[in-house]
Structure 1
Amino acid sequence: MKKVSRRSFVKSIGIGVGSTTILPTLASFDSHYLKLIQPYSGKKLNVALCGLGRYANILANGLAESEYCQLSGIITGTPEKAKNWKAKYNIPQKNIYNYESFDKIARNNDIDLIYIVLPNGMHKEYTIRAANAGKHVIVEKPMAFTEKDCQEMIDACKSAKVQLAVGYRLHYEPHHIEIKRLGQEKVFGEVRLIHASLGYNLTGTPLDDWHLNKSLAGGGALMNLGVYCIQSNRYVLGEEPVSVTAQFAPKTMPELFKEVEENITWQLNFPSGAVCTSTVSSNCNIDRFYASAENGSFELSPAISYGPFKGRTSVEEFNFPVINQQAAQLDGIGKHIIERQQLPSHISGEEGLKDMRVIEGIYKAAKTGNKIKLN
């Protein structure tokens, strides 16, 4: 599928200034993609990336396409990365920090927001330090290790009067906006069953990869991938799960997975009676979402990874453009902050806390073999 920018997409479907016509398959497409008059040309939010691993490079590309945000600073513990990023992105030396000098960013008025892209075990510390520095925060998912940690992060940001978002890029992606609409508006009636699973074959992963280190990752496949499955269940149904059962699978790569789980399967029960079954795996590739409702079904495959996504209902195929997911997320968040509006709850710290409540319940259910009630 060819990648389509937001501007070229609008042009290609022939929507003119003042038009009120939107293609039927775009009924749920977030309106800020349809820039019908002029692209945004006002103040941009100055973003510093904290942690320069693989995903930071993807975010840098998103920032380059973003209309409301721009890359203005970096925080890294690797001098060579600092040098390379400074040259590649023309970052002023005064906007470059390491983890020891991080707190000095409080005095830098050229940084508005810190995007934390560190290993999971560092999310809480650097969210709180960023808040104490007076900067808005986006933190990658999972938000932290426990529901209690998430609440402390939320409280720190509220106390500092800064906004806290979690990197839920799929909330701004058209295929996911559509499955959310199909489920919550009950287009095919009540959704009864959802299957959402995600897995990657990690054979050959270096032993020093932080995802294998429990103190940095917090867990294995569930912490790394589970939030995508949990999110899709929750936003398609528009409900919070009431109980969970779960099972660990045997390890096929015990030399890698000494500290964290390799695979785990769980079943979430929702107030409406819907049952959602998911598996996350580190020894096979799977990327699928399927929802069965009273009068039809809808699905995505690829579904909850980076895409490009492909999907259909029991009636027709989806026909949405491929977008830069990170740019869309940054624009959605940046626009709210620039306009001094409260961030919507679906990408806030409270949303991250709800996911962590479920993750903790899944681990407890798998360890005990019991059905666990969720608050």
Structure 2
Amino acid sequence: MSEQDHHHVDRDEEATFSINRRRFLQGSSGALLAAGALGPAFAHAAASGEGSARSGGRQASNGQTFDFGNGATAPEGISSVPASATGRPMPTLDQYDPVAPDERLGWAVVGLGDFALNQILPAFANSTHSRLAGLVSGNADKARQIAQQYGVAESGIYSYDNFDEISDNDDIDIVYIILPNALHEEFTVRGAQAGKHVLCEKPMAPTVEACQRMIEACRDNDRKLMIAYREQFEPHNLAAIKAIREGMVGDVNLLSVNAGVSLDPEAPSAQWRLNKALAGGGSLYDIGIYALNASRYLLGEEPTQVFARIHSREDDPRFAQVEDNVAFQLIFPNGAVANCTSSYSTPKNNEASVFGTKAWLRMAPLSNYYNHWLIVDDGNQRIEPSIQEISQFAAEMDHLSRCVQDDTAPHASGEEGMQDVRIIRAIYESAATGEMVSIESDYERDPNLLIADSPNLPDVWQQSDS
């Protein structure tokens, strides 16, 4: 399945059928990547571009060079996503000057499923502050094969059983947890106890209590914890935030944010996504979290109440354990209302519309890896800013690397991830009781935090005057 067709199943983190870690290791063998398949896998990678060319890298078929930050180069014939595929200028990461390869922080990727292979590992070619230094997998042969392709030393290969030995590897600074949701807590805690900073995939964990334990483990070991909210680094999303903050749409009254896809039960990642013990929930945890998180960062406020309904067809075996369709309404302190949906049984859609007193704004898609667009319309004129695509994965990894190097707090902190899980639990409670549920939380974040760290953000105000 292509990334553009099935964005939701790209995080195929070595599919499993049981929360038991021993069976998790056994289940991973089914995802073994054949040697001849690596080339096509790279073709689906998040875009590389002019900014990813590094001195000494191997030259690809289009004349560009690709270096993964550790001296390794891409196989022959690997090139960036063509401009025709994205409809945008070739992506670059031009916000930050790259540091010398030996000054980049070493990363270990924990879990070598489809998402890691097709998106995260190739993204190191775009990174300016991060390099691939380790791999963690339940399949030793698979890990060695990928390590050879990416120039990872044998000493940087670990299994889930000996993962704790990563504490002895000074070449690895950060671990990226790309595993089924129920395993996020265990490997985040073990990573922090091993002295490594942690980037954990969303959703952070199935419960608020697990999130709190993850935060405490990183705090107790003086390690940084970040949750992988890549949209918080995506330029179209950031431009939308800036337009709202600068008053371009006026006072926001209403948001409509939707996330849907038709989940293929035969896809390897669907096997754990449809298992409640591993996933924590269904479409809400997996893709509804995009709608929830976007509502929060677009408004720059935290919801105080939620009302929800859940519906799953009884004759659809996919939803024996997890929910399919979720509709939830978030109430914000300023009076704005966000109407959000998530679904595992609709044609792919992910979009956000913001309606204000001066104009409306729309992003569609909201959370794709590329090919975004943004529209602002005040009833008299319509603006579609020309915004350059980037590798969201490289951007979020480099953000955490810079936070470690500069000893600053990451934008998407553990508390940010826990807030989404807290609201998700309230959504489930509302759907179960049929009542409006209050969200008890004192969490808050600077509404300008995300755009303050985006020096090259386009000025949509200027474009509206042209």
TM (normalized to structure 2)? 0.72
Q: Is the 8 A contact 1:47 1:72 kept in 2?
A: yes
Give the 3-state SS of the residue equivalent to 1:291 in structure 2.
strand
Q: Go from structure 1 to structure 2 and tell me whether the alpha carbon gap of 1:6 and 1:174 turns closer, same or farther (over 3 Å shift).
A: farther
Equivalent residue, structure 2, for 1:244 = 306
**1:157-196 equivalences in 2 (<5 Å):** 157-196=218-257
Match of 2:214 among 140, 153, 158: 153
Q: Distance in 1 between matches of 2:329 and 2:191?
A: 36
Equivalent residue, structure 2, for 1:220 = 282
Give the 3-state SS of the residue equivalent to 2:318 in structure 1.
coil
User: Match for 2:116: what amino acid?
Assistant: A
Equivalent residue, structure 2, for 1:7 = 51
Q: Distance in 1 between matches of 2:47 and 2:228?
A: 22
Q: Is the 8 A contact 1:44 1:338 kept in 2?
A: no
| Segment drifting more, 260-269 vs 178-187 | 178-187
Match of 1:343 among 409, 418, 424: 409
* Unaligned segments of structure 2, at least 5 residues: 1-45, 53-91, 441-466
Q: Is the 8 A contact 1:252 1:283 kept in 2?
A: no
Equivalent residue, structure 2, for 1:324 = 391
1:7 to partner: Cα distance: 3.4
Q: Distance in 2 between matches of 1:311 and 1:143?
A: 28
Q: Go from structure 1 to structure 2 and tell me whether the alpha carbon gap of 1:308 and 1:102 turns closer, same or farther (over 3 Å shift).
A: same
Equivalent residue, structure 2, for 1:40 = 99
Give the 3-state SS of the residue equivalent to 1:84 in structure 2.
helix
Q: Distance in 2 between matches of 1:252 and 1:318?
A: 44
1:34 to partner: Cα distance: 3.5
Q: Is the 8 A contact 2:307 2:431 kept in 1?
A: yes
Q: Distance in 2 between matches of 1:55 and 1:94?
A: 23
1:253 to partner: Cα distance: 5.9
Match of 2:337 among 257, 269, 275: 275
Q: Is the 8 A contact 2:124 2:394 kept in 1?
A: yes
Q: Distance in 2 between matches of 1:160 and 1:34?
A: 31
| Segment drifting more, 205-214 vs 112-121 | 205-214
Q: Go from structure 1 to structure 2 and tell me whether the alpha carbon gap of 1:215 and 1:299 turns closer, same or farther (over 3 Å shift).
A: same
| Segment drifting more, 216-225 vs 202-211 | 202-211
Give the 3-state SS of the residue equivalent to 1:256 in structure 2.
helix
**RCO higher in structure (CA 8 A, sep ≥6):** 1
Q: Distance in 1 between matches of 2:367 and 2:95?
A: 24
CA deviation string 1:159-200 (max 9, x = no partner): 000100010111111101111112233322111111111111
Q: Distance in 1 between matches of 2:297 and 2:263?
A: 29
CA deviation string 1:264-318 (max 9, x = no partner): 1100000000000111111112111100001101111111232321121003012
* Unaligned segments of structure 1, at least 5 residues: 9-30
Equivalent residue, structure 2, for 1:358 = 423
| Segment drifting more, 309-318 vs 207-216 | 207-216
CA deviation string 1:1-29 (max 9, x = no partner): x9673639xxxxxxxxxxxxxxxxxxxxx
Q: Is the 8 A contact 2:136 2:160 kept in 1?
A: yes
Match of 2:123 among 59, 62, 69: 62
Q: Distance in 2 between matches of 1:32 and 1:5?
A: 8
Q: Distance in 2 between matches of 1:191 and 1:350?
A: 25
Give the 3-state SS of the residue equivalent to 2:319 in structure 1.
coil
Q: Go from structure 1 to structure 2 and tell me whether the alpha carbon gap of 1:109 and 1:372 turns closer, same or farther (over 3 Å shift).
A: same
Identity %: 35
User: Match for 2:104: what amino acid?
Assistant: K
Match of 1:300 among 342, 349, 363: 363
TM (normalized to structure 1)? 0.89
1:256 to partner: Cα distance: 1.3
| Segment drifting more, 67-76 vs 177-186 | 177-186
**1:361-372 equivalences in 2 (<5 Å):** 361-372=426-437
Q: Distance in 2 between matches of 1:357 and 1:127?
A: 19
Q: Distance in 2 between matches of 1:238 and 1:350?
A: 15
1:343 to partner: Cα distance: 2.0
| Segment drifting more, 159-168 vs 251-260 | 251-260
CA deviation string 1:123-160 (max 9, x = no partner): 00100000000000000000001112111111110100
Q: Go from structure 1 to structure 2 and tell me whether the alpha carbon gap of 1:253 and 1:99 turns closer, same or farther (over 3 Å shift).
A: farther
Equivalent residue, structure 1, for 2:59 = none
Equivalent residue, structure 2, for 1:312 = 375
Q: Distance in 1 between matches of 2:275 and 2:240?
A: 35
